Amino acid sequence: MDQIITFGEVLMRLSPEGNKKFIQANLLEFYFGGTEVNVGISISNFGGNVKHISCVPNDFLGDTAMAFLQKFGVSTSAIVRSNRPLGVYFLEVGAVMRPSSISYNRSHSSFSEIQPSMVDWEFAMAKAKWLHWTGITPGLTKGAYETLKVGLKLAKEKGIEVSADPTYRSGLWKYGENAKDVLTDLLSYSTIFIGGINEMNEVLGTNYSYSNEDFINASKKLMEKFPNIKKVFDKIRTSINASWHKIRARMWNGTEFRETNDFDITHIIDRIGTGDAFAAGLIYGLQKFDDYKSMEFASAACALKHTYEGDVNYATVDEVMGILNGNVSGVFKR
């Protein structure tokens, strides 16, 4: 009973090299990603035992996606295959005052077409101690929402931890269900909330500000509405420009409010997947450390992810600890 389960789409990112716009480019680089995949791989890189559940195509791209997960030690034994294509997204990476842009091509992908009958959750979660979900999956299609719900019900029956990163994306939710209703439903099966004021306002229908006082009030209200939720963790990004951000985090665990110092990320290499790196750091941390140390570990993991190209975080526990111990000057290691 030591497995951490992630469930979600394996996406391929296609992107011109460096900071080029598509109109300038003839070559595209590809990376595998997908929010929950990124979380799973990062936890595996920390030494966790991870199984990812998804649906990928029955072709060489599906084989490559499976091999990618396996390369990082993530179990693919519960991934199903179909004759639908792999979901893709196109990214133009911005710089300084020019923002990044994303265009998705995922509406009939193998994962978007997933149905509850396709996943054997009993088998997939036989050794599970933790299930992680995000708001991307139920925002895709009714099938993805209902499939996730089966897993969450089983997680509740088993009494395992369920972390929720409700990540509201207005570009999703095109299939007729209301985000607030669906997220409310799924949060009733969850124990740890990874999200901030925007996400809490979305599910509570409130208008809290970004202040710490309102963060505590919103967290209390969330816990009143969802008594199963025991802890709220919020990553705060201050954006000076597209290449320079500051990251810190705050938490409310029902009795205590804490916040971390800022990490100053002056030269971002790649910010995609940094929220997933935070979630992975928390999930790993909460199994080893107290709440505050877990949050510090997660912030440092998130900060480090900004230095890697691609969607996933390659950081090891020692590298995250190095950052936490103040080794942030990037001095050559010999």
Ligand X SMILES: O=C(O)C(=O)C[C@H](O)[C@H](O)CO
> Which residue, 75 or 137, is less far from ligand X as judged by CB?
137
33-41, 54-62, 78-86, 181-189 -> range binding ligand X (CB under 6 A): 33-41
Positions in 70-99 near ligand X (CB under 6 A): 89
273 near ligand X, rule: CB under 6 A: yes
Residue 35 binds ligand X (CB under 6 A): yes
Of 158, 161, 174, the C-alpha closest to 131 is: 161
Q: Name which position in 61, 200, 272, 280 contacts ligand X (CB under 6 A).
A: 272
Q: 235 near 210, Cβ under 8 Å?
A: no
Nearer to ligand X by C-beta: 165 or 319? 165
Stretch 164-183 residues interacting with ligand X (CB under 6 A) = none
Question: Does residue number 34 form part of the binding site for ligand X (CB under 6 A)?
Answer: yes
Residue closer to ligand X by CB (options 253, 273) is 273
Least separation in angstroms between residue 34's CB and ligand X is 4
Q: Tokens in use for 153?
A: 């019900």
Report the site for ligand X in 118-137 (rule: CB under 6 A): 136
Give yes or no for a contact between 131 and 125, defined as CB atoms under 8 angstroms apart: yes
CA distance 66 to 120: 18
Q: Identify which range of 70-78, 118-126, 195-203, 269-277 contacts ligand X by CB under 6 A.
A: 269-277
Residue 236 class from Cβ within 10 Å (0-12 exposed, 13-18 middle, 19+ buried)?
middle
Q: Which long-range contacts (CB under 8 A, 24 or more apart) does 102-105 make?
A: 104/171
Question: 38, 75, 137, 313: which one contacts ligand X (CB under 6 A)?
Answer: 38
Cβ 169 vs Cβ 199: under 8 Å: no
Helix (H, G, I), strand (E, B) or coil at 134: strand
C-alpha to C-alpha distance for 160 and 157, rounded to whole angstroms: 8
Q: Which residue, 234 or 311, has its beta carbon nearer to ligand X? A: 311
Q: Does 199 bind ligand X (CB under 6 A)?
A: no
Which position's Cβ is nearest ligand X?
33
Q: Which residues pair with 236 in a beta bridge?
A: 248
Q: Which is closer to ligand X, CB of 161 or CB of 311?
A: 311
Using the structure block, give the residue that is written with the tokens 């034994």. 77
Smallest CA-to-CA distance from 111 within 37, 15, 4, 222 is with 37
Closer by beta carbon to ligand X, 111 or else 284: 111
- The 221-260 contact track toward ligand X, x by CB under 6 A, reads ----------------------------------------
Choices 28-36, 48-56, 57-65, 77-85 (CB under 6 A): range interacting with ligand X: 28-36
SS3 for 212? Answer: helix
- Using CB under 6 A as the binding rule, whether residue 195 contacts ligand X is answered as no
The DSSP result for 44-108, as a single string, is: HHTT-EEEEE-EEESSHHHHHHHHHHHHTT-B-TT-EEESSPPEEEEEE--BTTB--EEEEE-TT
* Window 306-325: residues binding ligand X (CB under 6 A): 311
Which of 276, 291 has the CB closer to ligand X? 276
According to CB under 6 A, which one of 234, 276, 291, 319 is a site residue for ligand X? 276
- Neighbouring C-beta atoms of residue 169, cutoff 10 Å: 14
- Closer to ligand X by CB, 91 or 222: give it: 91
Residues that bind ligand X (CB under 6 A): 11, 33-35, 38, 89, 136, 272-273, 275-276, 311
